[in-house]
Amino acid sequence: MNGPRGLASLLISAVFATAANAHHSSALFDTTKAVTLEGVITKYEWRNPHVYMAIRVTNSGAQPDQEIEAGASSVLLPLGLTPDAVTLGERVTVRANPSKSGPGHMVLGRELVKADGSILPLNINSAPSRAAPQNVTADSIVGTWFPPFQGFTGFAAAQSNWPLTEAGRVALAAFTFRDTVQAECIPVTAPTLMLYPVVSVVEVGDKQVKFHVDWMGSERVVYLDGRGHPEGGAPTLGGHSIGHWEGDTLVVDTTQFAEHKQGNAQGGLPSGPRKHLVERFKVSDDRTHLDYAIVLEDPDYLAAPVTYRSQWDHRPDLKPTGLKCDLEVARRFLSQD
């Protein structure tokens, strides 16, 4: 772990340990401490990319209405928090992490306990996802899928061993959570996007495949009509994707990505114009998962190609939120101390 590469490994591990919690990370909050708040709900905003609420606290006279930041609606819905999970005036207990700025500031919600004892997650780390339905199998990659949190955190952990160029190390070291492009409702790109623990719906036609990812309205189109990548094509956020079938495996080749400040890693590793991604999608042998494998190249920031494998859960019981990214909500953390 000595030298520049060792330092880069430590940096990317530290960044992703917090970045996995939310689009701007939990850096504003002291996650080593916990507070318990009791009171009644006075505000409940089911919005994208964050849910916000407030409770009138009965065990503190200094700050009667405590503002609480929860996770993303598209992340929390599969975990069990819904738009109508709580009502104004309902008495609850909230477990949270305090602000690093001290009392009176917004706290980071971990979980909410209702009067009947039921527990609702307010953060991706606070509870397991809803149990998957039993004996429901997939006939193909078509359908509704959910990449579990373990695949996302595993991807973050793997990045600590990525070989970075000097430009990659410099960019990573300079990045702070306030630099996130998602504050402008610009989502991360594949492959990170495809590992987000949100509902993804796959449609397959004769000439194209569509991936609808419930993160800031993301949609990917993969062309199956035999076309190649266009010469001199204009770079776009999601790049240009062409695909073909190898048996029952969909192979997707994507180039022409627009440069992106977090294009290779949400924790601040950019992507350049030479980024090239190859993905493989195949229904697992037990037909309850989707095997996902990648090969990622980006000579501007990666000194060598990297690979990763994960699985998505087949979840026909889940639905996407359908919420568009709210720019005011996305930027709200920027005004927090």
Domains with residue ranges and CATH for the chain = 35-123 (2.40.50.140), 143-314 (2.40.128.20)
**What was the pLDDT predicted at 26?**
75
Could you tell me if 48 and 73 are in contact, meaning their C-beta atoms sit under 8 angstroms apart?
A: yes
Could you tell me if 147 and 257 are in contact, meaning their C-beta atoms sit under 8 angstroms apart?
A: no
Sign of CA dihedral 17, 23, 29, 33: negative
Q: How confident is the model at residue 7 (pLDDT cuts 50, 70, 90)?
A: very low
CB neighbours (10 Å) of residue 53?
A: 22
Q: Say which residue, 239 or 5, is predicted with more confidence.
A: 239
**What was the pLDDT predicted at 127?**
65
Range ranked top by mean pLDDT from 15-24, 93-102, 126-135: 93-102
For residue 54, pLDDT over 70 is answered with yes
Burial class (CB in 10 A: 0-12, 13-18, 19+), 94: buried
**What was the pLDDT predicted at 68?**
96
For residue 10, pLDDT over 70 is answered with no
Of the listed ranges 69-73, 106-110, 125-129, the one predicted with least confidence: 125-129
For residue 293, pLDDT over 80 is answered with yes
CB neighbours (10 Å) of residue 285?
A: 8
